[in-house]
Amino acid sequence: MNTTSTTFLIRPVRPDEYEALGELTVAAYHTISYDMPQQHAYDIQLRDVARRAQTSCVVVATTAAGELLGGVTYVSGPDDPYSEELRDGEAGIRMLAVDPAYHGRGVGRALTEWCLARARADGRRRMVLHTGEWMPAAVRLYERMGFVRVPELDFVPVPGVDLIAYSFDLADPTVTPA
């Protein structure tokens, strides 16, 4: 099946999908060729979709038949507990994951576009996210969409995990993802 952004839906995650999205997220992150320090602790956080959904907006991409393809946490601003030091007027993207069987089919792009549209609707001026150089597919996706590196927002949450920051200017309504 050739899944593209026109053949799947993006909607809020349902409670009966929390466990499946958590497992999908862990599976997606485990496809990355990187020996992450404290991976077990991070896996617990990745699996805890219920907690994220209580305070943040978690959405999923599904087929028309309901098959789960991926998910993302939209962080509405600096008051969201999943904010990585966002400032006023900024929104964020966290824990974007696509089922490894659907990599390269537009699911991650569609989830990112949904977050950008939501941030614009919320009146945010900038979208900020963090990724790692060990995630080359994510870096390529964000750069192709028009995100730009913001090295001054890079940080190290735990030793050995160097996160790099990207942002997308939402203030200009003529700027759309490439």
Q: Which residues contact 123 (CB under 8 A, 6 or more apart)?
A: none
Q: How distant is the alpha carbon of residue 107 from its chain centre?
A: 11
| Residue-level pLDDT at 128 | 97
Rounded CA separation 94/131 (Å): 9
**Paired tokens of 76:** 């509405």
| Residue-level pLDDT at 152 | 95
Question: Could you give all domains of the chain from N- to C-terminal order, each with its CATH number?
Answer: 8-125 (3.40.630.30)
| Residue-level pLDDT at 162 | 83
pLDDT band per the 50, 70, 90 thresholds, residue 166: very high
| Residue-level pLDDT at 176 | 61
User: For the residues 95-104, what does the mean pLDDT come to?
Assistant: 92
Taking only the tens place, the pLDDT of each residue in 10-24 is 999 999 999 999 999
What proportion of the chain, given as a percentage, has pLDDT over 90? 66
| Residue-level pLDDT at 5 | 43
Secondary structure percentages of the chain, helix, strand, coil, to 5:
35, 25, 40
Q: Which of 32-46, 79-93, 159-173 is predicted least confidently?
A: 32-46
Is 170 in contact with 76 (CB distance < 8 Å)?
no
Q: Specify the higher pLDDT residue, 28 or 42.
A: 28
For residue 141, give the amino acid letter. L
Burial of 36 (0-12, 13-18, 19+ CB in 10 A): middle
Rounded CA separation 40/85 (Å): 24
User: For the residues 15-42, what does the mean pLDDT come to?
Assistant: 81
| Residue-level pLDDT at 2 | 37
Taking only the tens place, the pLDDT of each residue in 121-164 is 999 999 999 998 878 889 999 999 999 999 999 888 777 778 89
pTM of the model: 0.88
